[in-house]
Amino acid sequence: MTTLAGAAFLYILDDAKKDRVNDLTNTAKVIESYYELSFHQWELSLLSLGNRFVEIKDPQERLDYANRALEVYRNELLAFGLAEPGGQVVTFTGRLVNDSLPNLSMSERTRRSFESALRNGGLTLGECYYFENVSDWILPIRVPIKNKEGEILAVNTSAIDYSTMMEELGRFVEGTQYKVHLINNEFNTTQILYPMDLRNYEGVLGSVDLIYKDLDTLEVKDDAYVTSAIDPVTGNDIICASILIDNVDHSLIISIEKSALIFEVLNRFKFVFIVYILLVLASILLYKYLKRNLEKSILNLRTERANLKSIIESTSDLIGLFDNDKNLIEFNRAFNISAKVTDGLKLYKGMDVLKAIKNSEQVESFNQLFDRALSGEKFQLEIIYPSPKGDLTFKATYNPVYRDDKVVGFTLFSEDITEIRSYQKQLEALNKDLENKVQERTKELKEKNKELKKGYDKLQSTQQQLIRAEKMASLGILSAGIGHEINNPLNFIKHGALALKERLVNIEDYDSYDQYFNAIEEGVRRASQIVSGLSHFSRTGEAMDETCDVHEVLQNSLTLLTNRFRNKEIEIRSYFHAENSVIIGNEGKLHQVFTNIITNAEQAIEASGVIEIITKNEKQTIIVEITDDGIGMTKKEVESMTDPFYTTKEPGEGTGLGLFITQMIIDEHGAELDVKSKKGEGTTFIITLKCK
């Protein structure tokens, strides 16, 4: 324990010494950089002021300029003045030469710094001394003023407040117990010693006896020398870092007493010791905590093991654990019972089961399965195993057991599914029988559905015919009444026009009225034709023994549809070549046939086109061909067009019964309907009727 504490103390001492050496070096560099930059700035500023001083010849103007300059630099300089090359001060802190200003050669200290400035030709720091006018110690600054040829015209002489420099140093080494010593190398005198009691200033500042005796060089780093030495003021052992301020030839020494270092080491050692004690206490507490948790975990593990064993023993599944040599090392009660029933074996831990099984085929099979599991494969399969009571079916699952990524054995979980497979076979037989019965019943239902559909379609067709017949009957009655009512005023118009024509026939300008009478007669004639066509179309009789003129029926249908043709710019071309156009049938139904076909032709034409109607006689028949140049139909559409409710129109625009009814009427007349169509080119309907 003592040896360990000593080693720890030495380690902490060495570590603290390294930290302090690095910090001393860094502090020395920072202060050196600060003073080097400050001295350079003072040199530039004083050169600028001195050059201006030399240019001013008037004494009073020079004095005013000196006062203004001192006001500008009042936070940095206590005094400001100019001396001749011979040492006589001509202006200093607001006084002229006639105010009995001193000659710098009169004092040993001022003379040495003045001559050094003349000799070096640059910024020179004089030896610090007590200045009565400000009641403080000051640091003189000398800067030679030269002309273009390099001749010294004057020396700018100023002074820095010593207290100000102490405050600046305090900010650098605050809280560090560091001592800052600035030494003038040329005169080997002390310029600054911080911190220092005011009572010791006289005996220290400017002293030439403050010599550091190096005991041991600890480190040389970037022009900074770190040594172990004796403090020349206190005589105590110190560690110090020294560095040269080149532009003023001064040495900067930053030191700390070794006693402070020892105190720091003791504090660190104390901290480490406290941490060590805390770690020991924490270790003891941790040990007790871990021990308590370990005991608790062991108890839980034993409980869980007992619970797991209880679960394993209570299950009816066969569970076994095998090692890498295929020996059985753990098993449950169900496994033991099954082995006794199937092979007459009594299991025990470490048993080579494969050697105990008498059936060589089963041994070979199990050996292959065991090899697969030991190779790292996880798998499941069904096994049929013979027993005295018959074949048994097991669902076996093999899982490899790993330790450190290496297979060290495997587990076997085997479920007896003999009864399940037996039930499955029975269910399969029942399902197959049920499927056969369902198929037979489905077939019967399909046949019944076909019969019902046929009956339903026939019922729908009959219903539509009844509705249409009812509508046509109502339309026929209405048309007959309207035709009678329209014919009466038409007769009045016709006879009135004839009477008026006879009264006006003898007047001189009769010819100018004749065109109006002709227009009236033509209007009456066309109205009569429409009424006549409507009356023919709306005839409601069912008799099939009427004498019908096919040409008149076609003309009436065209008359009724004239307005539809006009809306689409459709041209009607009629070529009635048949000499015999009379047949026996139902005139109203024939009107319905031709109206439906011509309407379909009009609807097949999208914007404009031609409908051509040709009649001709062949043998004892009249053939009517109705052709359009519309969108045409596909072969499938032609085959389905007379089916009930079949339509190619949008929903709501057609019922799909027009051509179905047309086909029925044609069949009633013993006629034939033939259709020729090509998609995109047009359609031709050919109706063949027997002549009278």
Structure token digits, residue 251: 């040495």
What CA–CA distance (Å, rounded) separates 275 from 60? Answer: 74
Structure tokens at 325: 């040599």
Tokens of 421: 């497979």
Strand, helix or coil for residue 46 = helix
User: Residue 14 has what pLDDT?
Assistant: 67
- pLDDT computed for residue 8 by the predictor: 63
Q: What is the mean pLDDT of the chain?
A: 80
**Could you tell me if residue 670 is left (phi over 0), alpha (psi between -120 and 50 degrees) or otherwise beta?**
left
Highest mean pLDDT among 65-79, 541-555, 649-663: 541-555
Give 469's contacts (C-beta < 8 A, 6+ positions apart).
Answer: none
Q: Residue 378's pLDDT is what?
A: 93
Residue 544 CB partners (closer than 8 Å, separation 6+): 584, 585, 586, 668, 669
pLDDT tier at 302 (50, 70, 90 boundaries)?
Answer: confident
Confidence of residue 12 (pLDDT cuts 50, 70, 90): low
- Greater confidence (492 vs 160) lies with 160
**pLDDT at position 144 over 80:** yes
Residue 114, pLDDT score: 84
Encode 590-651 in three state secondary structure.
Answer: HHHHHHHHHHHHHHHCCCCEEEEEEEEEECCEEEEEEEECCCCCCHHHHHHCCCCCCCCCCC
Q: CB of 165 within 8 A of CB of 159?
A: no
What is the reported pTM? 0.40
Q: Confidence band (pLDDT; 50, 70, 90) for 323?
A: very high
* 124/504: higher pLDDT: 124
pLDDT, residue 374, reads 92
Give the model confidence (pLDDT) of 469-516 as tens digits: 555 544 554 555 565 556 657 665 766 777 676 667 677 676 666 666
Residue 64 has pLDDT above 90, yes or no: no
**Burial class of 107 by CB neighbour count within 10 A (0 to 12, 13 to 18, 19+):** middle
* Report for 187-201, 479-493, 618-632: range of highest mean pLDDT: 618-632
If you average pLDDT over each of 342-346, 527-531, 676-680, which comes out highest? 676-680
pLDDT at 542: 67
| Structure tokens belonging to residue 80 | 């400001």
Q: What's the pLDDT at 683?
A: 94
Higher pLDDT, 297 or 71: 297
pLDDT of 610 reads 92
Which pLDDT value is given to residue 550?
92
Q: What is the pLDDT of residue 63?
A: 78
Q: Can you give the pLDDT at residue 86?
A: 85
Predicted pLDDT of residue 96: 45
**What tokens does 149 get?**
């040829």
Confidence (pLDDT) at 197: 67
Q: How confident is the model at residue 531 (pLDDT cuts 50, 70, 90)?
A: low
pLDDT of residue 241: 85
Cα separation, 177 vs 20, in Å, equals 11
pLDDT band at residue 655 using 50, 70 and 90 as cut-offs: low
The share of the chain scoring above pLDDT 90, in percent, equals 16
What is the chain's Cα-based Rg?
67
DSSP conformational letter for 188: T
Residues 216-251: tens digit of each pLDDT: 666 676 677 788 888 877 788 888 888 888 778 888
Rounded to a whole number, what is the distance in angstroms from the first to the last CA of the chain?
Answer: 144
118-146 average pLDDT score: 79
Q: Tell me the mean pLDDT in the region 524-542.
A: 58
Question: Which of the residue ranges 7-21, 392-406, 583-597 would you say has the lowest mean pLDDT?
Answer: 7-21
Q: What is the mean pLDDT of residues 79-102?
A: 70
Cα→Cα distances 484→133, 487, 490, 528, Å: 150, 5, 10, 11
**Per-residue pLDDT at 458:** 67
Return d(Cα 172, Cα 94) in angstroms, integer. Answer: 34
Nearest to 687 by CA among 590, 603, 609, 611: 590
Residue 595 pLDDT > 60, yes or no? Answer: yes
Higher-scoring residue by pLDDT: 59, 670: 670
Q: Would you state the torsion angle of the CA atoms of residues 124, 125, 127, 133, taken in this order, to the nearest 10 degrees?
A: 110
Find all residues with CB under 8 Å of 16, minimum gap 6, and list them.
261, 264, 265, 268
Q: What is residue 477's predicted lDDT score, i.e. its pLDDT?
A: 45
Band (pLDDT 50/70/90 cuts) for residue 526 is: low
